[in-house]
Chains A and B, each alone.
Chain A
Amino acid sequence: MKRCKDIQSMLSDHAAGTLPGDGAEAVQQHLDTCPACREVQKNLELLSLASIGQEEPPESFDRQLHMRLAQAANSFSPAGRLAGQWWRRPSLAAAAIAVAFALGIAIGGGFMQMNDHQTNIDNGAMAHVTRATVETGKPVTVRLVFSSDEDISDVAFDIELEPGLEFATTDSEIAAMKVLQWDGDLKRGRNEIPFAVTVAKPGRWVVTARAQYHDATHEHRIVLLSQKDIENNVHAP
């Protein structure tokens, strides 16, 4: 003897006439003796009356949706959101060591040794190279400092990490990335773009940060040497 729950799950098919012979018979026999299920059957007929299977959105729907999406896209881009999210998040460690370059600013800290020089990169442009010694597993705040003579927009930024480095953030999606790219603006004067990285594995690892505007590329490389390797007398090249 089937329970009401089993019978009620078959009522739609029973109404459509799609139940096999013995199933239909079982349902009908139950309905003949169960007022509760007969009531459900009546109500199912009401529900099928209100079917929305053929309803379509109003004619204005696509146009209105497009306007709202376009507005959303203008005020925001996925890559910019990631970068923006990042910049709004404070670095994880209260005792983060700040490394600034581009202006050749050295910020001292208990664990840090730093030097800065320029070197040629493949395309003939100049890259600033900064070296710092950090502790494995501890987040380090890096501040990209760009100076501009005027307001400029559509600057292409990217930050690339070597395998032993990770972006230090609570956003798991960004933490899994090795390359972060976005378009942004630079204001006239000094612009700071902070981000945090962690040396996940002892060794010598490079953060490469680039800003490209039209044909000009500005590149900074930050060589991070983990503290463990300093103690083991590993020399920074």
Chain B
Amino acid sequence: MKQAPVYSKDSGDNLVFKARNGDVSAFEALVVAHRSDLYRFALGMSGGNADIASDALQEALVKAFLNIRSFRGDAAFSTWLWRVIRNEIHAIYRKQKPGRLVSLEDTLEQPEDAAPGPSDQVLREERIRSVRYLVAKLSPKLREIITLVDLMEYSYEETAEKLGISVGTVRSRLFRAREKFSRLVEKYRELF
């Protein structure tokens, strides 16, 4: 069955063509190279809650699959995928208030499977959870910039490309995000 000629087999990107025709395996093959990074983004945005991040990313990828016809081939597939997933993650997390992504009680309690170990390891893990909790309290725009630059260690240029903004905007937004984070650290000093 032929497909309407917006994106055809002749383009050379057979996987995209197949995915546009509802081929799940083709879509999965397109996504596999990016899924770890996308998961880390969802994780950073969720305040480190792996269950929420996993569920949100799956939901976002299904949406991307259902809307793959909006990919017109005029940019790299990875660029399109990042923009779609980012928008979906924002939409999903907007339905949750920042503090509820990770509750403070979750932050202070040890996981059930935590083995008794050296106290500095336990303290380190507590600090990590506290940092992620505070990052989750930032507004979505500031949260994503800290996630990409400080938690995922993307360069300013890579971050700019993923967000579709200028490097200058990355710098100024990051400056504001770190300022805000500093104030939160001061406010929640007892966590550290």
Contact = CB atoms under 8 A, between A and B. Distances in A.
Contacts, number: 140
A55 B127 CA distance: 17
A68 B59 CA distance: 8
Which of B4, B39, B62, B178 has the largest count of A CB atoms less than 10 A from its CB? B4
17 contacts: A5-B171, A9-B174, A39-B182, A40-B182, A46-B127, A50-B48, A50-B131, A50-B135, A55-B40, A57-B39, A61-B54, A78-B20, A79-B3, A173-B70, A177-B5, A181-B1, A181-B3
A183 B21 CA distance: 11
A173 B54 CA distance: 32
A9 B116 CA distance: 39
A58 interface: yes
Contacts of B36: 55-57
- Which range contains the number of A residues in contact with the other chain? 35 or more
Interface residues of B, number: 56
Interface of A: 5, 8-9, 12, 39-40, 43-44, 46-53, 55-58, 60-62, 64-66, 68-70, 72-73, 76-79, 81-82, 156, 158, 173, 176-181, 183
Given A49-B124, A52-B40, A52-B44, A43 B178 contact: yes
Contact of B54 (A40, A50, A57, A178): A57
Interface in B81-116: none
Contact of A57 (B35, B65, B172): B35
Given A49-B127, A52-B48, A77-B22, A44 B27 contact: no
Contact of B151 (A9, A50, A66, A76): A50
A43 B178 CA distance: 8
B150 A73 contact: no
Which of A5, A52, A158, A173 has the largest count of B CB atoms less than 10 A from its CB? A52
Q: Is the interface of B mostly helix, strand, loop or mixed?
A: helix
Contact of A173 (B6, B57, B149, B182): B6
3 nearest interchain CB pairs? Answer: A50-B131, A47-B150, A57-B39
A44 B178 contact: yes
B43 interface: yes
Q: Is the interface of A mostly helix, strand, loop or mixed?
A: helix
Interface in B51-69: 54, 57-59, 61-62, 65-66, 68-69
A66 B48 CA distance: 23
Interface of B: 1-6, 20-24, 27-28, 35-36, 39-40, 43-44, 48, 50, 54, 57-59, 61-62, 65-66, 68-70, 124, 127-128, 131-132, 135, 146-147, 149-153, 156, 171-172, 174-175, 178-179, 181-182, 185, 192
A70 B24 contact: yes
A61 B59 CA distance: 12
Given A55-B43, A57-B36, 7 more contacts: A47-B135, A52-B147, A57-B35, A65-B58, A69-B28, A72-B62, A77-B21
Given A64-B58, A181-B4, A43 B182 contact: yes
Nearest to B66: A72
Nearest to B72: A173
Contacts of A77: 21-22
Nearest to B3: A181
Contacts of B128: 49-50
A89 B178 CA distance: 48
B68 to A, nearest CB: 7
A168 B146 CA distance: 45
